[in-house]
Structure 1
Amino acid sequence: MKPGYVYIMTNKNNTTLYVGVTSDLERRVKEHKSKKDLKSFTARYNLNKLVYHEAHQMIGDAIAREKQLKAGNRAKKIALIESINPEWQDLIIGDE
């Protein structure tokens, strides 16, 4: 089975959060940043900053973790982000 990644994107003011899952984090973040689908949630809210990610050996585990994070409230997501990225820096993946 493929590995998977759970990630959180936000906008420049850190006002909106998006939790996602993918098997290719670099490709997926590039898609978000390029606004590949202009009607997508991340494009509409200018979510182009990767502030959190975690790797899982199996995509199924990443999907389960995504559901867990989405079920949590905003405060829990903020605490998770700040536990590894207190300055909310863009954790750029790959070449821009």
Structure 2
Amino acid sequence: MGLSKVEINLRRLLAAAPQQQNQAKLMHYVATLREQLEQLSEETTPEGLPRISKAKVNDYSEKIEAIAAKIASPPVRLLTSSFAKFRDYKGYF
């Protein structure tokens, strides 16, 4: 059994995501990857069996969430910079 079009696209996007520097595009990648994974997990063979194994779905899911985690956690330098700005303005509150 070969790869479906959805799985091919999912693999391509997973491979491209680490090189993407634009955070907005990376967020879009993650949303698209999640949609593709959902579609892929719903695909069945003519016999009604799942097209890919649960283990493979979990593997793809872990990779997607690892990419998403990079978006959710800004660099520490950025956080300290934001805190310093807030600290400087605290007298105005």
What TM-score bracket applies, with the shorter chain setting the length? under 0.3
Q: TM-score, normalised by structure 1?
A: 0.23
Higher-helix-fraction structure: 2
Higher-strand-fraction structure: 1
Q: TM-score, normalised by structure 2?
A: 0.24
Q: Identify which of structures 1 and 2 has the higher relative contact order when contacts are C-alpha pairs closer than 8 Å and 6+ apart.
A: 1
Structure index of larger Rg: 2
